[in-house]
Structure 1
Amino acid sequence: MLKQQLQFKLSQKLSPQQIQLMKLIQLPTQAFEQRLKQELEENPALESGKETDNEFDSDYENSSDDDYNDNESITAEDINVDDYLSDDEIPDYRTQSNNYSGDEEEKTMPYAAGISFTQHLINQLNTYRLTDEEREIAEFLVGSVDESGYIRRNLSDIMDDLAFTQNVYTTEDKIERVLNIVHQLDPAGVGARNLQECLSIQLHRKEKSPKVELAIQIIDKAFEQFTKKHYKKLIQKFDITESELKDAIHEIEHLNPKPGGSYSGSNRIVEHIIPDFAIKIVDGELELTLNGRNAPELHVSKEYSNMLKGYKAAKDKSKSQKDAVLFIKQKLDAAKWFIEAIKQRQQTLFITMSAIMHYQKEYFLTGDELKLKPMILKDVADEIQMDVSTVSRVANSKYVDTPYGTKLIKEFFSESMKNEQGEDVSTREIKKILETVIEEENKKKPLTDEALATILKNKGYPIARRTVAKYREQLDIPVARLRKKI
């Protein structure tokens, strides 16, 4: 049975212009400059630099669409230019939008020059005398090396792939022999199948000495006990002194656990941090400035305004002239909107950062992280009467140059908890104290999470052991057993 029903629904949608503005706010300085350059290239009606005569700017600001759509001034034979500005011919900038999340946006960044890590290894293979079969296997193994320098695949899987993809039928023993050749390539440790093999390869290539020999024994025969820092068991197993063990561990600690990282890292995307704001202390007061690269001087092209005036003054108008009027108006509208969007972006950035600066005034005056107050996005949004999402866009991708270094703005945000006096304190403050306590602990007997919780409680911060563990992990500090040193 068919049924009809009338339903009213109230919804709010962002216009393409609002979406574009949000995207502009989100961009850090370098990406903003790229976006600005793109707009200047695409819109000839938009120009950068100072405008010597702003007569047209004021004329255009005060003029309405009707000035350009008027039948008598720009049309012939009573043709209304509104026909050319119908919904079928809405300018692209008003209709194009990207409603996908930031993760799905197409990002273009320059890559550093240089040969790839794989090619670097293949070039080294050319110095070895190999049969055709061995070379095919060696190049396949090199192609299986990941960016960290490891081959994280079983030899049986590699053997199957060689047969199916390269038409090379071989054995695991032959692959193992060729893999030993790959292990001779630089950087030392490349082609290892796990961390133990990686460290072992590097140690075997070192100049032999008692401490290197002991380090090899530890990695090859007692790797699990070494990783778990069971130092007493290692001393008993190898019948050595604590000093000898310390020397061997010192050798191991200077090895590279990711041999590919040092090379492949040079070919990764290069991104430079440019502070969007600068905070200085002048006569005991904070002074905030917006990076000048975020405040370009833009104006509408005077040449385009003169072209439009010329078309308006013409008596006889061909179809090409009418199309030109439409094109010019679209570009002028787009330029006018973009200039306005840039101004709104500057204002939003400055207002938001100013609110954050005053909220965290004690920190910016002293540089003491213990002075950071609890602050969430809503606190700033309520202060500047903007949406939380707008504050988030500013905080997540912008940096500020302070007297204490360049900081990511989102680092100033933290949740709050109450201390024993019932005062709200920042979780950043607790993490800083936790970090200090761990730095000062006896590394021969590191403090457990339970002991850390007790110390924090004695300092006036009553938090549970599991909360201590969470904060410790966020600070990227390992558990007590792994912090142990001899």
Structure 2
Amino acid sequence: MLSLQQKLALQQKLSPQQIQYQKLLQLNTLALEQRIKTELELNPILEETLDEEIDLEQLEENPDETNDKLDEEEENISNKEDEFDIEDFMNDEVDAEYEIERINKSQDEEFIHPIAHQRKSLRENLIDQLHMLDLSEEEIILGENIIGSLDKDGYLKTDLSKIVNELKLFENINVTIEQAEKVLAEIQKMEPVGIAARSLQECLLIQIRNSSFDPYYSYLAEKILSEHFNDFVNKRYETIQKTMNLSKETLKTTIDVIQKLNPKPGEGNIDSEEMNQITPDFIIEKVDDNYIVTLNDKSVPSVTVSKTYLEMLGANKRKRKISEREKETHKFLREKFESAKWFIASLQQRRNTLMKIMQAILEKQYEFFESGPKFLKPMIYKDIADIIGMDISTISRVVNGKYVQSPQGIHELKYFFSEGLSTDSGEEVSNKHIKELIKEICENEPKDAPYSDDKIASILQERGFHVARRTVAKYREALKIPVARLRKSL
């Protein structure tokens, strides 16, 4: 039986302004710079200003037509940058459907990459080297396919027979496995030597065979890598020494030679145009006895509203009779004006929010900035949210992917957040402090008899930190410190 029912429910929906503000909030400085440049291209109402402060008042005022200004809503944007507040625009009645469509039309906006300098990637350099070799056209194409199949560390994980078969099937190019092996061998001798290896063992062997080390130790190193590779990677040096009948000093010198080789010739940047470079979003400097926080946004363009387009908007509004085309122009300019207004307000609110959060982190972690990592305090997102009166999700957006440069170095903001552990004295310490201690213990342990996880836990226990062996193992792995057996040196 059908029946009608009434149901009262509360739903929370984000306005277009809030969506835009949140997207801007999570961008780092480099991504924000590109985002602003994109907005300048898309919105003719916006223009870049050379002044550090955006003075909309001087752009909107018209001394000759003071009485013909735009309506009160448009006059509100005449306030200077420091008077903007995103809340002032949260309830504006404008064409919201247009703004939502404009904001959401591209899902790639959150993944804007900074503009890089013109520079060839490692893969492109390899292809250039390939074209300098004395190879046939078919072999050049084969080599390009091999280079195109390399992974981020420069290894060839695709079977050569598969590459040969795909060339025959899709490009009608017939090459043999023997030709593929020949071309691969040529590529492996390119710079960096060892690129396109199919295993770590092959990579190291290629490098040692093309090295300029002492011939005797190169011979021993090649013998170890080819005949005793498993013993080498598992650091069973006593077995190698006994089997090859070497003195301890000779074995140590040979192992040192092997350790100078590069296990990852691609270095994770085979497609990168340049090495990863961190641009800090904040800079903290100590002036006298005080720490000063500044937002590192000098390269970010300042934007304002174009006076020319505002005058066009005002002119259309003053006309008593306007054509359909003029109506469309007025609607277009009005939409772009509202979009520009929200964008400028969102930028200023983003700036204010970032500064509040960084200042709160500085106050909470003052001892870290003063004395170093060992003085890092336990802190969670809620601690900062409570200090500045904002939601935890806002803190998360700001913290993610942003960096600060201080006298203690460059750190991601996430670094300052960690859970706490209690000491014998009842003091709360950050788990990052425990990681620093584990790192310190491993650095100072006897190299010929490294400490086990149980031993490290016992040392921490003696210092007043109650940490279980499995926790030590977890933190050690997070620090990328190998197990004791693999830390052993001759």
Which TM-score band applies after superposition, normalised by the shorter structure? 0.7 to 0.9
Partners of 2:306 and 2:225 in 1: CA distance: 71
SS at match of 1:397: coil
Find out whether 1:384 has 2:383 as its counterpart: no
SS at match of 1:151: coil
- Structure 1's 353 and 101: CA in aligned 2 closer, same or farther, altered over 3 A? farther
Gaps of 5+ in 2: 77-91
Q: Which amino acid aligns with 2:200?
A: L
Matched-pair contact (CA < 8 Å) for 1:275–1:399: yes
RMSD of aligned alpha carbons: 3.4
Find out whether 1:32 has 2:32 as its counterpart: yes
Find out whether 1:433 has 2:437 as its counterpart: yes
TM-score when scaled to structure 1?
0.84
Q: Which amino acid aligns with 1:403?
A: P
Q: 1:398 Cα shift?
A: 2.1
Find out whether 1:153 has 2:158 as its counterpart: yes
Give the counterpart of 1:319 among 312, 324, 327: 324
SS at match of 1:192: coil
State the match for 1:240 in structure 2.
246
Alignment of 1:148-227 (within 5 A): 148-158=153-163, 160-167=165-172, 172=177, 175-207=180-212, 209-227=215-233
Q: 1:294 Cα shift?
A: 8.2
Partners of 2:442 and 2:58 in 1: CA distance: 63
Find out whether 1:399 has 2:408 as its counterpart: no
Tell which deviates more after alignment, 308-317 or 171-180. Answer: 171-180
Tell which deviates more after alignment, 426-435 or 392-401. Answer: 392-401
Percent pairwise identity: 39
- Structure 1's 446 and 98: CA in aligned 2 closer, same or farther, altered over 3 A? farther
- Structure 1's 395 and 120: CA in aligned 2 closer, same or farther, altered over 3 A? closer
State the match for 2:270 in structure 1.
264
Give the counterpart of 2:72 among 63, 85, 92: 63
Q: 1:185 Cα shift?
A: 3.6
Structure number, greater radius of gyration: 1
Partners of 1:307 and 1:162 in 2: CA distance: 60
Q: 1:282 Cα shift?
A: 2.8
Find out whether 1:43 has 2:43 as its counterpart: yes
Matched-pair contact (CA < 8 Å) for 1:33–1:293: no
State the match for 2:256 in structure 1.
250
- Structure 1's 319 and 468: CA in aligned 2 closer, same or farther, altered over 3 A? same
Partners of 2:138 and 2:41 in 1: CA distance: 54
Matched-pair contact (CA < 8 Å) for 1:110–1:269: no
Matched-pair contact (CA < 8 Å) for 2:70–2:314: no
Partners of 1:333 and 1:136 in 2: CA distance: 54
Gaps of 5+ in 1: 68-84
Q: Which amino acid aligns with 1:374?
A: P
- Structure 1's 110 and 230: CA in aligned 2 closer, same or farther, altered over 3 A? same
Partners of 1:306 and 1:327 in 2: CA distance: 14
- The aligned length equals 465
Partners of 1:313 and 1:6 in 2: CA distance: 48
Q: Residues 295-348 of structure 1, C-alpha deviation per residue, up to 9 Å, x if partnerless?
A: 865443333343334334334322233333323322332222222222211211
Partners of 1:95 and 1:134 in 2: CA distance: 50
Tell which deviates more after alignment, 446-455 or 136-145. Answer: 136-145
Q: 1:450 Cα shift?
A: 0.7
Partners of 1:148 and 1:249 in 2: CA distance: 23
Q: Residues 12-61 of structure 1, C-alpha deviation per residue, up to 9 Å, x if partnerless?
A: 12112101101111111122122222223333333434548548479989
Tell which deviates more after alignment, 32-41 or 407-416. Answer: 32-41
Alignment of 1:5-20 (within 5 A): 5-20=5-20
Matched-pair contact (CA < 8 Å) for 1:93–1:334: yes
Partners of 2:344 and 2:259 in 1: CA distance: 56
State the match for 2:338 in structure 1.
333
SS at match of 1:293: coil
Partners of 1:34 and 1:456 in 2: CA distance: 48
SS at match of 2:243: helix
Q: 1:373 Cα shift?
A: 0.8
- Structure 1's 243 and 66: CA in aligned 2 closer, same or farther, altered over 3 A? closer
- Structure 1's 385 and 147: CA in aligned 2 closer, same or farther, altered over 3 A? closer
Q: Which amino acid aligns with 1:9?
A: A
Partners of 2:135 and 2:305 in 1: CA distance: 67
Partners of 2:312 and 2:105 in 1: CA distance: 36
SS at match of 2:298: helix
Matched-pair contact (CA < 8 Å) for 1:112–1:270: no
- Structure 1's 165 and 344: CA in aligned 2 closer, same or farther, altered over 3 A? same
Q: Residues 168-221 of structure 1, C-alpha deviation per residue, up to 9 Å, x if partnerless?
A: 667655644554444444432233211111111111123462111111110000
Matched-pair contact (CA < 8 Å) for 1:188–1:201: yes
Find out whether 1:360 has 2:358 as its counterpart: no
Partners of 1:358 and 1:168 in 2: CA distance: 66
